[in-house]
Amino acid sequence: MKLMILGATGVVGSRVLEQALASDKFETIVAPTRRPLADPRKAHNPVIPFTLPLPGADWWAVDGVICCLGTTLKQAGSKTGFYSVDHDLVVACAGMAREAGASGFALNSSLGASPKSLSFYLQTKGKTESAIAGMGFQRFVVVRPSLIDAKREQPRLGESLGLMAGRLLSPITPRRYRPVSADAIAATLLREIGGPPGEIVIASEDISSCAT
């Protein structure tokens, strides 16, 4: 499989890249990023600004895409800025890959994502899922993790506090709401991108770190 990884410098995307590079299932790995990867190894690493409109290039022609692009309201600075990344940019990337012939797309979304959610964050995630579902990918995978358990270069106070509470309360918390490791999310995305035609949604409690 010729695989594209979007968001390869992020907390989940970097794990996807690491695991993909260690696997023998991928003939080619394309990882476009805003800044060069520190150690691309055998990955093709186009450096692009990730602003719209996206540049056309032959490296968009892959078999499958794993998308871990995303930001936060704080980093984006506004709801408009957040939507432009988590919806507009993600959908545009999906469109470029689909137009170039990609048949599979796996999206790292969020627990509770729904276009009808009262939460702007979850509503945006849901609208992104819906937009990509309508693009005609033969295989469309949505993974909806709860809090992501991983160290970040720039820690998020609210998330850090949530993780501390989640770990302490894990024995009495329903599995769906327990923190899930970035490595497990990455393994699930990589395993599912190569599945049969169809559309599947993987809930947080079903995310598994089984080998890809």
Picking from 193, 68, 61, 208, the residue whose alpha carbon sits closest to that of residue 139 is 193
In the chain, the percentage of residues whose pLDDT exceeds 90 is: 78
Instruction: Report, as an integer, the average pLDDT of 47-54.
Output: 96
6 compared with 167, residue with greater pLDDT: 6
What gap in Å lies between CA 132 and CA 94, rounded to an integer?
Answer: 7
Rounded Cα–Cα distance for residues 27 and 136 (Å): 24
Q: What single-letter amino acid sits at 49?
A: P
The reply to whether the predicted model has a pTM over 0.85 is yes
- Residue 53 gets the label, from left (phi > 0), alpha (psi -120 to 50) or beta, of beta
Phi then psi for 31, rounded to 5 degrees?
A: -130, 85
Fold observed for domain 2-203? Rossmann fold (3.40.50)
Residue range 149-164: mean pLDDT, rounded: 55
Q: What is the pLDDT of residues 79-128, one digit of tens each?
A: 999 999 999 999 999 999 999 999 999 999 999 999 999 999 999 999 99
